[in-house]
């Protein structure tokens, strides 16, 4: 019986994953993934803003998680942002004004990503 949540990767798969992680770290270090944004050259500023506002963001309808991340679309693509995961992403016109997430908090972009339901896995 499997007693861990990790995948059963082959040695080749593990090596490929490590290589990808190393390339991503080199890329992020070389590009300063949020260079040119109004909040500085590192993600420490994003982490600080997220930490201050995480409880408020989690109180919005449909929000299931909040994390530091990289914007995937729009003018801020490739820059550090706060990623807000929702169970169902709805068009803004289907939400009342109080239920709409802000586009930015303290100058940091909010990227909304549909994640579906998040729950705890049962243990055996």
Q: Where are the domains of the chain?
A: 11-114
CA gap 58, 51 in Å, rounded: 11
CA gap 88, 63 in Å, rounded: 8
CA dihedral over 61, 67, 73, 75, signed as positive or negative: positive
pLDDT by residue, tens only, the chain of 124 residues: 445 545 566 778 777 777 776 776 666 665 555 443 333 344 788 889 999 999 999 999 999 999 988 888 888 888 899 999 999 999 989 999 999 999 999 999 999 999 888 777 777 6
The phi, psi pair for 38, rounded to 5°, reads: -70, -10
For the chain, report the end-to-end CA distance as a whole number of angstroms: 9
């Amino acid at each position: 019986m499997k007693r861990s949540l990790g995948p059963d990767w082959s040695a080749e798969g593990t090596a490929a994953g490590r290589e990808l992680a190393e390339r991503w770290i080199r890329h992020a270090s070389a590009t300063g993934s949020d260079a040119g944004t109004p909040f500085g050259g590192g993600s420490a500023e994003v982490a600080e803003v997220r930490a201050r506002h995480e409880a408020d963001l989690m109180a919005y309808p449909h929000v299931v998680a909040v994390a530091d991340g990289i914007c995937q679309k729009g003018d801020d693509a490739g820059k550090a942002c706060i990623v807000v995961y929702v169970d169902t992403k709805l068009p803004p016109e289907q939400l009342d004004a109080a239920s709409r997430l802000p586009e930015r908090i303290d100058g940091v972009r909010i990227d909304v990503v549909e994640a579906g339901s998040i729950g705890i896995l049962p243990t055996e």
